[in-house]
Amino acid sequence: MITETAPAKINLTLHVTGQRSDGYHLLDSLVVFADIGDQITASPASGLSLRVDGPFAAGLEGDDNLVLQAARFLGPQRKARITLTKNLPVASGIGGGSADAAAALRALSRLWDVPLPQDVAALGADVPACVHGKPLRLQGIGDRISPLPTLPALDILLVNPGVSVSTPAIFKALTQKAHPPMPEVLPDWPDAANFAGWLARQRNDLAAPAMQLAPEIDAVLHRLRASNCLFAGMSGSGATCFALFLPDGYSAKAAQAQIAAETPDWWAAAGKVN
Ligand SMILES: C[C@@](CO)(OP(=O)(O)O)[C@H](O)COP(=O)(O)OP(=O)(O)OC[C@H]1O[C@@H](n2ccc(N)nc2=O)[C@H](O)[C@@H]1O
Ligand SMILES: Nc1ncnc2c1ncn2[C@@H]1O[C@H](COP(=O)(O)OP(=O)(O)O)[C@@H](O)[C@H]1O
């Protein structure tokens, strides 16, 4: 049996710089991954099947699950028994489905001994980034990936107010489509505090429309900013927000425990930035 993790994707910045004639938006985003995620297992079988368990499994066992789409994309007609343990909230701006698709591609390429395809964008705009799986700058509609040098070490806390947010609805609600990109050459951040200070001068252009559709996001950001984090923002199209902490292995977990006690309806998970 082969096991692969599907780490949460976090957009530390998300600049929407334009819109193509097919409606897809041009992005400029700094993306990292966390050691918080879903898990995929794959083993030999006489058919192709998917079982989903875990806290956010509800409603995901359909044929349109991105894991099954990835399996058919990699090996039409091939067979495997796949399980997905769904720990990440669904439709929450941390690319859970895309991360699952990327983990399924990795697991099945090992099981079936076939190479990973070069171009996986047909599975979703975030899938190329999730296949890369390390800090990156994402441009185009998500298809242009530039690896980033090692970032300062950071701990991270992810918090979702229990509201699912539709990515297409947020893009649709975005009124101004052309915002400035990040600087062409990104700085060489010497430490976590300097990196956090730089992030505070960047943007997530989807935050305003997301907050209009899901006002709970504002409460999450306020709560995170009241912790001793270095920086807090919203990931992707929301509603999950992140807070970055010094990598002491303690502060992010302490904030998570406090938030879980105060607002048990919110999902909160602490870990490291990978
Ligand atoms: C916004 C981002 C930022 O990383 O993340 P999430 O909030 O989904 O996590 C991604 O671009 C989401 O990627 P992904 O969720 O794979 O998107 P897709 O399934 O390909 O597209 C869903 C819908 O989002 C819109 N879309 C997506 C990507 C893009 N560059 N422009 C768009 O306009 C389109 O309306 C599209 O039909
Ligand atoms: N394995 C999967 N995990 C989560 N969502 C999935 C999966 N497969 C298909 N989906 C569908 O994809 C949509 C987007 O989910 P998700 O990838 O979690 O969003 P986001 O990228 O905003 O975090 C959901 O509405 C869900 O129905």
Check whether 214 is labelled as a binding-site residue: no
Check whether 99 is labelled as a binding-site residue: yes
Check whether 42 is labelled as a binding-site residue: no
Which ligand 1 atom sits closest to the C-alpha of 9? 9
Assembly ipTM: 0.97
Per-residue pLDDT of the chain (274 residues), as tens digits, is 999 999 999 999 999 999 999 999 999 999 999 999 999 999 999 999 999 999 999 999 999 999 999 999 999 999 999 999 999 999 999 999 999 999 999 999 999 999 999 999 999 999 999 999 999 999 999 999 999 988 999 999 999 999 999 999 999 999 999 999 999 999 999 999 999 999 999 999 999 999 999 999 999 999 999 999 999 999 999 999 999 999 999 999 999 999 999 999 999 999 999 9
Q: What domains does the chain contain, in order, with CATH numbers?
A: 2-132 (3.30.230.10), 151-272 (3.30.70.890)
| Closest CA to ligand 2's atom 9 | 65
> Which ligand is nearest the CA of 38, by number?
2
Contact 14, 206 (CB under 8 A): yes
Looking at the DSSP assignment, which residues form a beta bridge with residue 269?
158
Q: Does the CB atom of residue 39 touch ligand 2 within 6 A?
A: no
226: tokens are: 């009241």
- Read off the pLDDT of residues 152-178 as tens digits, 9 standing for 90 and up: 999 999 999 999 999 999 999 999 999
Contact 209, 25 (CB under 8 A): no
Which ligand 1 atom sits closest to the C-alpha of 126? 16
Which ligand 2 atom sits closest to the C-alpha of 69? 8
- Read off the pLDDT of residues 261-270 as tens digits, 9 standing for 90 and up: 999 999 999 9
**Alpha carbon of 64 to ligand 2 centroid (Å):** 10
- Residue at 183: amino acid letter: P
What is the pTM for the complete model shown?
Answer: 0.98
**Alpha carbon of 76 to ligand 2 centroid (Å):** 22
Contact 29, 219 (CB under 8 A): no
**Catalytically active residues, by annotation:** 9, 126
89: tokens are: 């909230």
- Read off the pLDDT of residues 98-125 as tens digits, 9 standing for 90 and up: 999 999 999 999 999 999 999 999 999 9
Cα 113 to the chain's mean position, in Å?
Answer: 27
